[in-house]
Chains A and B, each alone.
Chain A
Amino acid sequence: MKRKNIKSCLVVDLNFIGDMLMSSPVMRCLKQNGVERLDVIAYDFCVPILEANPYIDNVYPVITFWDKLIRLLWGRKQNYDLIMQLNTSLKTNILMCIAGGKDRLGYDYRNRGFLNTIRIPITQRTARKGNRVRECLDLLEKGLGWTCNNEEMIYDRDSSISSP
């Protein structure tokens, strides 16, 4: 069943810089399906790639575990409709639980996703077998019932978003 009424979303994308481009189509799909506020938590060295994605509203860079914890505690106050991560990290799932959110979406590898409200089973860790771009979009398709066909990666240097 297609999920609607997701107006605010926080994506936790703690990957390396090349991976940011591979996950960029997710941001387009979220916006095209009605998300009005789209925030991303990522490592600070990835900010230049995220700032070139016009579909992202705010980028919150983190470096240490404590940065992540503080940012996600702050995230609790934002009361996001959806918080999601694009990998299978148990630590990130725990942090997402701390951040709350009406729903939390992620892949469920070896039950590491047990804290999420929408869990998509996966037999291998992410970025091991299937195409990474497709894998990221499949999370939205399988978790929310959306159709995400546009796999073109995004780097638009003319876009400007804030990185508070």
Chain B
Amino acid sequence: MIVIHPSPARDYDKRRWDKFPELADRLIYRYGNVSFTGTEDQRDYVYGIRKKMKNVGKTIDRCGLDSIASLAKLIRDADLLITVNTLTMHLGVTLKVPTVAIIGGTAASVVAPLDSELFKYVENVDRINDITVDDVMEKVNEIPGF
């Protein structure tokens, strides 16, 4: 199972990446279904991403889980987590789930472990949308088993 958490907790434009539809399609083509997570407030944002996808039928909307514990359980069971710089990124690292983070707004060196085999990241502090889908897929390929 691949989990994608595309939205930061607050309206941090520098942390929002605009290529999740294409990324999710590429991941589905290679690996199968994708689950999207987010808060109830982020459901519309996730809907907007899914609407732009070609393989939306292979996605599951898991927004609005009732607690952080439920989110943590979902992440713990994932084979791969793709996330922006937000709580889910830290949960992925803490729970030792293979994680690829797309980091903008803050330097990765501040918020991320830089030497973990299970954690990979792409960063662009000021222009997160310059990060391409190929950049992210390259990091996915570096995760052992992917």
Contacts and interface: CB of A to CB of B under 8 A. Distances in A.
Contacts of A155: 72, 91, 94-95
Contact of A153 (B69, B94, B110, B114): B94
A18 B110 contact: no
Contacts, number: 54
A154 interface: yes
A16 B69 contact: no
24 contacts: A17-B9, A17-B87, A18-B87, A18-B111, A21-B90, A21-B91, A22-B90, A24-B94, A48-B67, A49-B87, A52-B69, A127-B106, A127-B110, A128-B110, A129-B110, A130-B110, A131-B109, A131-B110, A132-B110, A133-B113, A151-B113, A152-B94, A157-B72, A157-B73
Contacts of A133: 113
Nearest to A153: B94
Interface residues of A, number: 22
Contact of B68 (A16, A22, A48, A132): A48
Interface string A142-161: 00000000011111010000
Nearest to B10: A16
Nearest to B67: A48
Interface of B: 9, 67-69, 72-73, 85-87, 89-91, 93-95, 106-107, 109-111, 113-114
B69 A157 contact: yes
A26 B9 CA distance: 24
B69 A48 contact: yes
A22 to B, nearest CB: 6
B89 A18 contact: yes
B93 A153 contact: yes
A52 B73 CA distance: 13
Contacts of B67: 48
Interface centre among B72, B95, B110, B113 (most CB of A within 10 A): B110
Given A18-B90, A49-B68, A157-B72, 17 more contacts: A17-B9, A17-B87, A18-B89, A24-B94, A48-B68, A48-B69, A49-B87, A52-B69, A129-B107, A130-B109, A131-B114, A132-B110, A132-B111, A153-B93, A154-B94, A155-B72, A155-B94
B71 to A, nearest CB: 10
B109 A18 contact: no
Interface centre among A24, A127, A128, A132 (most CB of B within 10 A): A132
Contacts of A131: 109-111, 113-114
Contacts of A154: 94
Nearest to A47: B68
Nearest to B95: A155
Contacts of A16: 9
A158 to B, nearest CB: 10
